Structure 1
Amino acid sequence: MSRKVRARHRRRKVASAVGVPLALVVGGAFGYGYGSGEEASAAVPGWATAVADGFASVNALGQNGTYGGRDGKTVTVRTLAELERYATASEPYVIVVAGAIAVNPVGKGIKVASDKTIVGAGTSGHIVGGGFFLGQGVHNVIIRNLTIRDAYQGTWNDKEHDFDAIQMDGAHHVWIDHNDLRHMADGLIDSRKDTTYLTVSWNRLSQENKAFGIGWTTNTTADITIHHNWIRETEQRNPSADNVAHAHLYNNYLEDEANTAIKASYGNYARGNTNMVLENSYFQGVNNPVTRDSSATVVQRGSVFSGTGGRNESGGDGARWDPKSYYPYTPDKTADVPALLKSGAGPRSSIGATSTTAAAKATTLTVAQDGSGQYRTVQAAVNAVPVNNPSRVVISVKPGTYREVVKIPANKPHVTIQGAGASRKDTVIVYGNAAGMTKPDGSGTYGTPGSATLSVLSDDSQIRNLTVTNDFDEAAHQDIANQAVALLTQADRIVIDGAIVNGDQDTLELETAAKDRPGRVYIANSYITGNVDFIFGRATAVVDKSVITLKKRWNGTSAGYVTAPSTPAGRKGILINRSAVNGDVANGSHYLGRNWHPGGDTTVDPQATVRETTLSGAIKATPWTDMGGFSWKDDRFAEYRNTGAGAGAASSERPQLSDAQAAGQEVADWLGDWTPSAS
C-alpha cells in the first residue's frame, strides 16, 4: 500500500512556555512543604513549570504545547480522596503526591481532567493498585515522577482485568515522564482511540506482560514521541504502534534479561499504517527487536542490537519524514544509552520537591558494593543513622547481592531500607544462619530470632523493593535446629512493601518488642516463600495483595504450614487478605496454619484469618491443625470468601466468617489508628 503523509502542524522554533526552557528545571532538597490537600502560597518551584518536549510540545488542536497545571495552584495530597478531588477539578492544579496512595477498588483508573500536573514528591509518590485514566478530549496533562504499581491479579496475560498504569482514550497533549510503571494487571501504558501529541520519556517499564500499546482505531492521525525509556522484563507491546501517523522512537533501552521466566515476544512493532522513525535505541537480548506489518513504514538509523534474534525490519512505502521538522531534539550516543537510562530513568528525588518544612525532609544514605555509594555494606549505613533520629532516613541500596547480617536497633526509628534497582530482585540481602548454629564467639546458639538475615527492631521502619533471603542449607545440617529466619520484625508500625522474603522454615518472624507491647506490620505487594510455619509470631500483621509461595522440604517432600500465630489474648493476629497461596508442591500437602503456644503458654490466643484469597490445590481440605497439644479449635482461625482449588465450604473443620463478622476483620481493624505510608 502506498500513501502520502503530509505535515499537519506548524513547526515550533522554540519549545518553551512563558519563558520556561524546554530543558527540565528541577527544584531543591526533598521536603513535602504543605499539609494534606493544602494549597500552597509559596513561590512555585522550577519543576512545576517544566514543559514537554517531542510531539507533546507542538502547537495544535488549540493547545500550545504541554505544561500541565503550571498556571494553577500547587497542592500536596496524601490520600485517594484528595488526589481525586484535585485531579478531576475543572481548574488547573499542580498536584504533588507525597507518600503511597492505595487505590480502592483495586484497578480503578483515577480520572484526570485537563490542565493538570500530577507529580511525585521526590521518590515517595506511589500509586498502588490502580492508575490514571484520561478520557476523550482531555488535554494538557503531565504525569511525572510517580511509581505506579501492583494491580497484578495473579494472571500474567490477564484478559479479565483492564488495570493499566496510565490509559488514554482520545486525549491530546500529554507528557508522561520519569515514572516507574510496573506489575499491573493488563498493561502499563495504553494510548488509545487516536490519542495524539503524546510524549513518553525517561520512564522505567517493567514486570509486565504488556508494556505500551498504541492504537485501537483504523484512523492514522496520532503523533507520538517515545524516548529515553528503559523497558525490561516485559513480553509484548514494547511498544506496539498501530496506525500512528508519526511515531518517533529514539534512545530507548529494551532489555530482556537472560535466565528469567519472562521472554519478550518482540520489541518495537509498527502495525497497520504506522510511519515510524527509530533511531539510536539499544536492544539487549530481545527477540524480534523490530517488526513491521507490510503496510507500515519503519526508518531505522543508529541503533545497537546485542544478543538479539529474529525479525529486525525496516522499509515500507510511507513518505519519509524528519522529526526535526516538528520539534528540536538531539539524540544521545547509542552506546551510552544503557548506562544513561539505568541511572537516569524513573523518579528523581529533585522533582516534586518543595523547599519548605525542613522537619519533613528525609535523609538518604547510599550503599553500593563497588564503592560508588557512601557505604559498602547495608549495616554500615544503619550504623551511621544517629540514635533517636527524629525523621526518616532512607538507606538506598544499589543493585547487588549483599551477604551480611543486618540489624536496625530499637533506638533508630524511621529507617527505610530500599532497593535502588528497577526490580525487587535487583537488590538482595542474604545470609545463612540457623537457630541451632553456634555463634562465632562460642556463647551459645543463635536461636530462632537470632538467625535472622535482616532484623527490624525499631518503630516506624520500612523495607521496600528488595529481596531478603536466608539460604541456610537444611539438607546439609539435619543435626541442628533448622529454623532459619530471613526477616524478623520486633517493633510497631512496620511496612514491608514490594519485597521478596525467601526461606524454608520460619522465613518471616513477626514479633513485638515485648509481650505487652503492640507490634503492627503491614506487608503489601510482596512475595513470601517457605514451607514450615513460615509466617509466624505474636505481632498484629497484615499480608495484603501478596503472593505466598509454598516450597518443598529439604528432602523433596511436600508438607508444611503457612502460618503459626502466637497472638496475645485480646489482640489481632495474622490477616492474609486479597492474596494468593500457591507453589510447586503436592496437592493437599499444606495447612494454612497451626496454633503456636510458645513454651506451653496458656494465656495466648492465636489468631489467623485468610480472606478473599486464591488458594491452590496444595491447601488441605482441613486447613487448620493443632500444635504442642493445644487444639486449634480453642483459638481463632477462620476464612472468608476464598477461591481456588484449595478453597472449601464452611464446616466444623473449616470455619467461615459471616458477612457481619468479616466487616470487623478488615485491614483497618488490624491497623487501628495507623495508616501506613511512605513517609
Structure 2
Amino acid sequence: MSKNRTPKARHRRRRAGLIVGLPLALGAAGVMAYGTTFGVFGEDAAPEASAAGAPAWATAVADGFASVDALGQKGTYGGRGGRTVTVKTLADLEKYATAPEPYVIVVAGTITMNPVGKEIRVASDKTIVGSGTSGHIVGGGFFLGQGVHNVIIRNLTIRDAYQGVWNDKAHDFDAVQMDGAHHVWIDHNDLRHMADGLIDVRKDSTYVTVSWNKLSQNNKTFGIGWTQNVVTDITIHHNWIRETEQRNPSTDNAAHAHLYNNFLEDVPGTGITSSYGNYARGRTKMVLENSSFQGVNNPVTKDAAASLVQRGNLFSATAGRNESGGTAFDPKSFYGYTLDKAADVPALLKSGAGPRASIGTASASAATAAATTLTVAQDGSGQYRTVQAAVNAVPVNNPSRVVVQVKPGTYRETVKVPSNKPHVTIQGTGAGRKDTVIVFGNAAGMRKPDGSGTYGTPGSATVSVQSDDSQLRNLTVTNDFDEASHQDIANQAVALLTSADRIVLDGVIVNGDQDTLEMETAAKDKLGRVYVTNSYITGNVDFVFGRATAVIDRSVITLKKRWNGTSAGYITAPSTPAGRKGILINRSTVNGDVAAGSFFLGRNWHPGGDTTVDPQATVRNSTLSAAIKTTPWTDMGGFSWKDDRFAEYRNTGPGAGSGASSVDRPQLTDAQAADQEVADWLGGWNPTA
C-alpha cells in the first residue's frame, strides 16, 4: 500500500532575490554589468537572520521544491546560523558533517576518501561548500539517510570513484545518495566518473532541488525513486548533463518532477553513447520545460502509467523515442520560477554550470567596501589622467586592495605595478573589454630613450605587473609595435608581463604578435601563479610563454598571421622549473584567420640552454581550429620536446586530431587528467574577487 502523503505543502512567497554564483568580473568593484547571473534565490528561508556582513553564498537558500515549507521544515538553508569551519582533511570533514549541530563546512582543498567508495553520513542542518574551485572530493561522496533534512551540498567537485567496470554492480559508489531524506539542495557542483550513480534520490526522499550542476563521464547519472510510494517532489533545473549513458534522469514514481532549462549533450565520436535521456517511469508526473537535447538517443521517454507534459524544448540530432502524454501539475502552484529560452540554455550552462570561484570564499561586497578606489580619466574627470599616475599614488606595502578604476578611452602609456605595491586591481569601467585600452609599442631590440641599452623582452611590456595578489579586469592591453617596419631589430614585443604570485586576469584582451603574454615569477625559485579567465589572447610566435604556473580557463586564443602575411607560429613556450606546473589551457577555444595546419600548440623553451628546466604545457577540454598541426608540439633550441612535459586531453574541433594517444601527440589518460585539474595548478589558491 502506498504511504499516505502529507497535506499539500504551503508555498512560500519570495521577496527580493539574492544573487549568487557571479562571474569573477562582477565581483571586484561592482561597476560592470556583463556576464550571466547564474542563480537568484529568495531571502526568507532561514528561521533567523544571518550574521551581518556574511557573504552571499553563506546566506543563500534553495529554490524549487527544496524551498517549500513542509514536514516541519521551512525551506532549505543548510547550516546557516551555525558556525563556519574550514576543512582540508577527511577526518575534519567527517567530524563536522556528522555532528548534531548546524555547520557551514567549507572544503578548501582536495580530500581523498579512504577507503575508496566511502560515503560520509551527513547529519541534518549542514552546508557543505567548496571554497572557490578548490574543493574536491575524490573517490567517494555523501550519504543522507532516513529523516536527514535541511542539507546543502554546493560548489564541490566530486569525482573518480570509478573502479574500471562500466556497468559496475559490485561498487555502489555514488557522489550523493539520499535514502529517505528531505529538503536537500545540490547546486553548482561538478560530479563525474563515479562507480555507480552521480546522484541517487531514493526511498521517498523529497523536497529536493538539483540546480546548476555539471554531470558527466558516467554510466548512470541520476536515479530517482526505488519505491512503490508516489512521494518524491523534485526540481531539476539548469544542469549540464554531458557524456552520460543512462538515467538522465530516470524518475520512478515521483509525485511531482519539474525539469526545466537543462542541457543534455551526447558528443558524437566519443566512447560514451546515450541510451536515453529524461525518463518518466511508473506513476511519475513530470513537467519538462525549455530544455535542450543535442545528439541524445531516446531523448524523452515515458511509461504507460506516467504523465509527462512537454513545453518549449529543443531537439538537435536526436533519435528514437520522444514522448509525452497525460496531465501533470502546475509547478507555479508550489513555487515561483522564471524560464530561460531553450535556445540560450547550452551557452548559459557551458559558462555557468559547476563550481564558481565566487562561492565559498570571502565576501566580494565586503572586500569591495574595504577597498581604496582611485579613478583615472583622460578628460580630467577622475583623480588622475594616466594609469601610471594612479599606480604611483598607491602606498608602498599597502595592506589591502586598491582598485584603480579606469574610465573608457585609449591610454597610450606603459604601466608598471612594482613589487612593493601588492593587492592592486586595474579595472576598466566601460561596458566591455574594448572600451578601455592601454597601448604602447616598445620591442626588445629598441633602444631606451636614456641610451642605457635596449629594452629586452620583459622591458618591452606595455603593462608590467610585478606585485603579488594583483588583478587586471575588463580592459584591453596591446603592444602595437610595427614589426613590418623594424625587421632590423629583435621584434619580441610584450603586451602584458606578470612576474608575481596570485595574479588574476579576468575579462581582458591581450593583443600582440610575438611574445604577447609573458608570465614569469619574481625569481626562479619563487612561485608565480596566474589565473586567466573570460579573456582573449592574440598573437603568432610564442605568445603565451614563461616559467609561471598559469591557467588559461574559459578563454579564446586567436592566431594571427605574421607581419608578411604568412601563417606560421607557436602558441605556448613554457620554461617551467622542474617540479612545478607550467601552462594549462582549459575549456578554451583556439581560432583565427590563418592557414590550416600552420600553428603548433607549443615548443619547449630552455632559456639560455638551461638543462634544469622541465617545460610543461597541457591543453585539455578545449576546441582547436584546423590551424593546429597534426603533430602539435615541436623542439626549441636543440632540446627535444619529448623529453619535457606536453600533453592533451579530450580536445575537440578539426585541429584536435583523433584523440588517440601517440608518440607525436600524447594524450592524458583519465587517471592522469585527474591530477591536471585547475585546482592542481593553483595549489590551494582561490582566485576570487
Report if TM-score (shorter chain) is over 0.5. Answer: yes
Taking the aligned partners of 1:153 and 1:403, their CA distance within structure 2 comes to 43
Report the counterpart of residue 8 of structure 2 in structure 1: 9
Asked if 1:329 corresponds to 2:329, the answer is no
Q: Contact 1:378 / 1:397 at 8 angstroms: preserved in 2?
A: no
Report the counterpart of residue 409 of structure 1 in structure 2: 546
Q: Contact 1:493 / 1:676 at 8 angstroms: preserved in 2?
A: no
Report the counterpart of residue 119 of structure 1 in structure 2: 129
Q: SS at 1:299's partner residue?
A: strand
Taking the aligned partners of 1:80 and 1:497, their CA distance within structure 2 comes to 31
Give the counterpart letter for 1:93 in structure 2. Answer: Y
Taking the aligned partners of 1:375 and 1:189, their CA distance within structure 2 comes to 41
1:381 Cα offset (Å): 7.2
1:63 Cα offset (Å): 0.7
Q: Contact 2:88 / 2:110 at 8 angstroms: preserved in 1?
A: yes
Report the counterpart of residue 306 of structure 2 in structure 1: 296
Q: Contact 1:25 / 1:50 at 8 angstroms: preserved in 2?
A: no
Give the counterpart letter for 1:394 in structure 2. Answer: Y
- Note the 1:3-42 alignment, pairs <5 A: 8-15=7-14, 21=17, 24=20
Picking from 520, 523, 529, the partner of 1:392 is 529
Taking the aligned partners of 1:266 and 1:276, their CA distance within structure 2 comes to 16
Report the counterpart of residue 456 of structure 1 in structure 2: 576
Q: Contact 1:495 / 1:676 at 8 angstroms: preserved in 2?
A: no
Picking from 246, 261, 273, the partner of 1:236 is 246
Taking the aligned partners of 1:547 and 1:108, their CA distance within structure 2 comes to 22
- Note the 1:138-287 alignment, pairs <5 A: 138-287=148-297
Q: Greater CA deviation, 167-176 or 144-153?
A: 144-153
Taking the aligned partners of 2:211 and 2:82, their CA distance within structure 1 comes to 24
Taking the aligned partners of 1:193 and 1:314, their CA distance within structure 2 comes to 26
Taking the aligned partners of 2:117 and 2:158, their CA distance within structure 1 comes to 11
Picking from 76, 87, 92, the partner of 1:77 is 87
1:173 Cα offset (Å): 0.5
1:125 Cα offset (Å): 2.1
Q: SS at 1:456's partner residue?
A: coil
1:91 Cα offset (Å): 1.1
Report the counterpart of residue 383 of structure 1 in structure 2: 518
Q: Measured at CA, do residues 420 and 320 of structure 1 come closer, stay the same or move farther in structure 2, by a change above 3 Å?
A: same
Q: SS at 1:374's partner residue?
A: strand
1:209 Cα offset (Å): 1.6
Q: Measured at CA, do residues 313 and 544 of structure 1 come closer, stay the same or move farther in structure 2, by a change above 3 Å?
A: closer
Instruction: Flag structure 1 segments of 5+ consecutive residues without an equivalent.
Output: 31-39, 422-426, 431-439, 442-449, 469-483, 512-520, 536-542, 549-576, 579-673
Cα shift readout 1:361-415 (whole Å, capped 9, x = no counterpart): 68588999xx9753379996751567458763213488999997576534x4xx2
1:111 Cα offset (Å): 2.6
Q: SS at 2:129's partner residue?
A: strand
Give the counterpart letter for 2:258 in structure 1. Answer: H
Cα shift readout 1:631-674 (whole Å, capped 9, x = no counterpart): xxxxxxxxxxxxxxxxxxxxxxxxxxxxxxxxxxxxxxxxxxx9
Q: Greater CA deviation, 400-409 or 180-189?
A: 400-409
Q: Contact 1:101 / 1:677 at 8 angstroms: preserved in 2?
A: no
Cα shift readout 1:330-351 (whole Å, capped 9, x = no counterpart): 1112222122212221222222
Report the counterpart of residue 374 of structure 1 in structure 2: 509
Report the counterpart of residue 546 of structure 1 in structure 2: 671
Give the counterpart letter for 1:95 in structure 2. Answer: I
Q: Greater CA deviation, 216-225 or 358-367?
A: 358-367
Picking from 326, 335, 338, the partner of 2:346 is 338
- Note the 1:513-524 alignment, pairs <5 A: none
Q: Measured at CA, do residues 255 and 533 of structure 1 come closer, stay the same or move farther in structure 2, by a change above 3 Å?
A: closer
Give the counterpart letter for 1:14 in structure 2. Answer: R
Taking the aligned partners of 1:5 and 1:195, their CA distance within structure 2 comes to 14
Give the counterpart letter for 1:174 in structure 2. Answer: V
Cα shift readout 1:271-322 (whole Å, capped 9, x = no counterpart): 1111101111111121111000111110111111122121011113xx5311
Give the counterpart letter for 2:518 in structure 1. Answer: N
1:485 Cα offset (Å): 7.8
Give the counterpart letter for 1:285 in structure 2. Answer: G
Q: May I ask how many residue pairs the two structures share in their alignment?
A: 489
- Note the 1:486-497 alignment, pairs <5 A: none
Taking the aligned partners of 2:173 and 2:470, their CA distance within structure 1 comes to 32
- Note the 1:631-646 alignment, pairs <5 A: none
Cα shift readout 1:133-166 (whole Å, capped 9, x = no counterpart): 2222211111111222222333333333222222
Q: Measured at CA, do residues 133 and 462 of structure 1 come closer, stay the same or move farther in structure 2, by a change above 3 Å?
A: farther
1:204 Cα offset (Å): 1.2
Cα shift readout 1:176-230 (whole Å, capped 9, x = no counterpart): 1111222222222111122111000111111222221111122210000001111
1:487 Cα offset (Å): 11
Q: Contact 1:241 / 1:271 at 8 angstroms: preserved in 2?
A: yes
Q: SS at 2:510's partner residue?
A: coil
CA RMSD for the aligned pairs? Answer: 5.1
Q: Measured at CA, do residues 372 and 263 of structure 1 come closer, stay the same or move farther in structure 2, by a change above 3 Å?
A: farther
Q: SS at 1:189's partner residue?
A: strand
What TM-score does the superposition give when structure 2 sets the normalisation length? 0.59
Q: Contact 1:254 / 1:286 at 8 angstroms: preserved in 2?
A: yes
Cα shift readout 1:68-111 (whole Å, capped 9, x = no counterpart): 11111222222222222222221111122223333333332233
Taking the aligned partners of 1:401 and 1:205, their CA distance within structure 2 comes to 32
Q: SS at 1:153's partner residue?
A: coil
Taking the aligned partners of 1:157 and 1:502, their CA distance within structure 2 comes to 35
Q: Contact 2:511 / 2:539 at 8 angstroms: preserved in 1?
A: no
Report the counterpart of residue 110 of structure 1 in structure 2: 120
Taking the aligned partners of 1:71 and 1:248, their CA distance within structure 2 comes to 30
Taking the aligned partners of 1:533 and 1:231, their CA distance within structure 2 comes to 29
Taking the aligned partners of 2:579 and 2:177, their CA distance within structure 1 comes to 38
Give the counterpart letter for 1:151 in structure 2. Answer: A
Taking the aligned partners of 1:252 and 1:391, their CA distance within structure 2 comes to 38
Q: Measured at CA, do residues 61 and 42 of structure 1 come closer, stay the same or move farther in structure 2, by a change above 3 Å?
A: closer
Q: SS at 1:383's partner residue?
A: strand
Q: Measured at CA, do residues 534 and 323 of structure 1 come closer, stay the same or move farther in structure 2, by a change above 3 Å?
A: closer
Taking the aligned partners of 2:86 and 2:616, their CA distance within structure 1 comes to 24
Taking the aligned partners of 2:20 and 2:101, their CA distance within structure 1 comes to 24
Report the counterpart of residue 314 of structure 1 in structure 2: 324
Q: Contact 2:237 / 2:260 at 8 angstroms: preserved in 1?
A: yes
Q: Measured at CA, do residues 294 and 533 of structure 1 come closer, stay the same or move farther in structure 2, by a change above 3 Å?
A: closer
Q: Measured at CA, do residues 211 and 201 of structure 1 come closer, stay the same or move farther in structure 2, by a change above 3 Å?
A: same
Taking the aligned partners of 1:297 and 1:348, their CA distance within structure 2 comes to 36
Cα shift readout 1:490-534 (whole Å, capped 9, x = no counterpart): 6699998988999899876459xxxxxxxxx9x999999445998
Taking the aligned partners of 1:461 and 1:298, their CA distance within structure 2 comes to 50
Asked if 1:45 corresponds to 2:179, the answer is no
Picking from 139, 144, 154, the partner of 1:129 is 139
Taking the aligned partners of 1:267 and 1:404, their CA distance within structure 2 comes to 45
Q: Contact 2:518 / 2:544 at 8 angstroms: preserved in 1?
A: no
